């Protein structure tokens, strides 16, 4: 499940540059709590970051956590 969500995140990031959690989990199967745990793990690993940190919803926007440097 984690790899499927990570691959979808990479696809959406390369296609659109950003994604919301709803579109990320659209094709994922299984328990919604486990799906959100996979998204949290991607954030913990530093691969993605949330733009709006006010609250956790399915509409929260994620972007790739890339440091471009100067």
Identify the CATH number of the domain in which residue 15 sits. 1.10.10.10
- Separation between Cα atoms, residue 20 and residue 51, nearest integer Å: 10
In-domain check, residue 58:
yes
Average of pLDDT values for 37-49?
A: 92
Neighbours of 1 (CB within 10 A): 13
Beta bridge partners of 18: 63
Predicted pLDDT at 7: 94
For residue 59, what pLDDT band results from cuts at 50, 70 and 90? confident
In-domain check, residue 69:
no
Find tokens 């979808």 and name the residue. Answer: 8
In-domain check, residue 70:
no
Q: Which residue has the higher pLDDT, 7 or 51?
A: 7
Beta bridge partners of 50: 62
Q: Is the pLDDT at 34 greater than 80, yes or no? A: yes
pTM of the model: 0.81
Please tell me whether residue 53 adopts helix, strand or coil conformation.
Answer: coil
């Amino acid at each position: 499940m984690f790899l499927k969500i990570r691959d979808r995140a990479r696809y959406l990031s390369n296609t659109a540059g950003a994604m919301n959690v709803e579109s990320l989990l659209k094709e994922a199967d299984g328990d919604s709590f486990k799906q959100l745990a996979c998204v949290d793990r991607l954030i913990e690993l530093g691969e993605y970051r949330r733009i709006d940190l006010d609250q956790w919803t399915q509409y929260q926007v994620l972007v790739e956590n890339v440091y471009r440097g100067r």
